[in-house]
Amino acid sequence: MKLGLSFSIMALTAGGALAQDLPQASNQWFVDAQTTLEALLSQEENTNRAKNVILLVADGNGVASNYATRIFSGQQEGGLGDDYVQPHEAFPNLALIKTYTTNGQTPDSAPTAATFNSGIKARNDVINVTDAISVGDCAAGAEDEVTLLSEIAAEAGKSVGIVSTARLTHATPAAVYGRTVDRDFEDDTLVPEDCGQTDLAAQMAAQVDAGVIDLAMGGGRQHFLPSDVTDAEGESGSRGDGRNLAEEMTGETGVYVQTQEEFDAIDTASVEGPVIGLFESSHMQYEADRSGEPSLAEMAAAAIEVLSRNEDGFYLMIEAGRVDHANHAGNLARTVRDGRAFAEAIAMADEMTDDADTLIVVTADHDHGLQFNGYCGRGSDITGLCMEVDPAGIEHTGTPNVASDGLPYTVAGYMNGAGSVLIEQIEDETAAADTSQTTTPDVGAAEGETQPVYSGSRPDVTPEEASDIDYLQQALIPMPSETHSGTDVALYAKGPWAHLFNGTLEQNVIFHVMNYAMNAGD
């Protein structure tokens, strides 16, 4: 019987059976798939030189976070969510990216972002130095030579920009311009006195002065201002050297903005000098809470308008930094809202550029420990409870699934984090039970130290509670901050040489494709 089935399939294929002659040809799923096939067959490889390269990174936006954002966006627009297509998901080229570092099965954002910008893998916690350098080794780091994609682009006459919702001195944006043996060296007060390494804010100012960085928008204002200067929101700077880097970077011809009103007033068609936007003392606000500062899409649009005036083109890195932070908090409601804001920035970048001369790369630097429960019926609120599948319909029944403990559960949860169902048991003075234990080094504490006992059970939760903006998804392992994951992330691309992104690739290959695309034909 198996042989007969195989023969029938081969006969249909080899004999050239037409799809429209099959009995399922009128099924809408079949029709849609045929349309997709036709689009795939019509694709042609673009081997033009990339005048422009736009790298869009949603920090921590692994396959799971991307999936959650897809469902959320589709449900926000009135659908069930599963069949929704985000802008980047329509790009013709796709690859899986390995994110491990030279010393970490699980990476952090510093070396992963550096792979995009220097083409090498390195240790966790360092930015754009080789893996011959240990974390914090200032002397060795000073001698380490790594050239950045931004510097290559600037040398070729292109403009360079950075846009991020994180601090501009944070790991991912800093990788566009900086080199450091410790990602925490964000201003001079955070660099050890005997280190002698320049802090990241000062490095960005130096790259602006050198003509490498032409535009930078994001958070992190405190690291650019001296401690005796207050910003537009009354927050003091944190620099100890007295330098006002915001003023140094913009000088007489540049533009320095701190608020939405000042941002809106930027004349992107005529500004001459560097454009610097510092919209928060630390990170910019989550999209769900945003007020008085531009969205990621608005910053992306302004950046492209400014940088596109250069006839030789540009390199622009755009980061949705707070997707990562919401995941760390175990707060999926904010994760997906920042994920949707990222998708809007992708759509903006795509709309404002031409596929013929602009390579657009969309990816993440790493994943998170976000996972999904089953068996949820279609339309279950991605941030809420997992509803029963309707055996006679399409949408869920409206009744929550329950676990063996008799309680409902959410669609999504985290492997670890602040939402852990295991709670530290604080000993009551009147309690007879001993709620601490003596541990040995192999279970997490120094020998002889006491460590609290964690135990608990899952609390009951209503659909309204689970969907609340501040709700923390239930997690297993108790940790103050949810962790990254080492799993592969997806990459989506379109434009010149985007077809080179194919298969499962090492993360540092991304640099090499972007660099090749910018210089194709030389």
* Known binding residues for Mg(2+): 59, 170, 172, 319
> What distance lies between CA 155 and its chain's CA centroid?
28
- The CB density around residue 23, as the number of other CB atoms within 10 Å, is 7
- In degrees, rounded to 5, the angle at the alpha carbon of residue 424 between the alpha carbons of residues 478 and 106 is 15
**Preceding omega of 454 cis (within 30 degrees of 0):** no
- List all residues 6 or more positions away from 436 whose beta carbon is below 8 Å from its beta carbon: 427, 450, 451, 452, 453
Distance separating the N- and C-terminal Cα atoms of the chain:
58
The owner of tokens 């434009």 is 495
Task: Report the candidate in 509, 471, 167, 188 with the shortest Cα–Cα distance to residue 333.
Answer: 471
Quote the strand ranges of 375-478, DSSP E. 412-417, 423-424, 436-438, 450-452, 454-455, 475-478
Q: Cα separation of 149 and 55, whole Å?
A: 11
Q: Phi/psi of residue 344, each to 5°?
A: -65, -35
Q: Phi/psi of residue 323, each to 5°?
A: -60, -45
- The CB density around residue 463, as the number of other CB atoms within 10 Å, is 16
Task: Report the candidate in 169, 190, 66, 64 with the shortest Cα–Cα distance to residue 127.
Answer: 169
Q: Cα separation of 49 and 500, whole Å?
A: 14
Is 303 buried (19+), middle (13-18) or exposed (0-12) by CB count in 10 A?
buried
Token couple for 350: 């795509």
Distances (CA, A) of 488 to 85, 213, 507: 21, 31, 9
Task: Report the candidate in 338, 342, 333 with the shortest Cα–Cα distance to residue 323.
Answer: 338
Q: Cα separation of 377 and 395, whole Å?
A: 6
User: What is the spatial order of strands in the sheet that 275-278 belongs to?
Assistant: 255-257, 275-278, 215-219, 159-167, 314-320, 52-58, 358-363, 489-494, 93-98, 503-506
Respond yes or no: is residue 118 known to be catalytic: no
Task: Report the candidate in 484, 489, 493, 486 with the shortest Cα–Cα distance to residue 505.
Answer: 489
**Which of 26, 65, 73, 109 is an active site residue?**
109
Binding residues: 59, 170, 172, 319, 324, 328, 365-366, 484
Task: Report the candidate in 490, 166, 450 with the shortest Cα–Cα distance to residue 320.
Answer: 166
Binding residues for Zn(2+): 59, 324, 328, 365-366, 484
Q: Helix count (H) and strand count (E) of the chain?
A: 15, 19
Cβ 514 vs Cβ 361: under 8 Å = yes
Q: Cα separation of 90 and 494, whole Å?
A: 9
Question: Which residues are the active-site residues?
Answer: 109
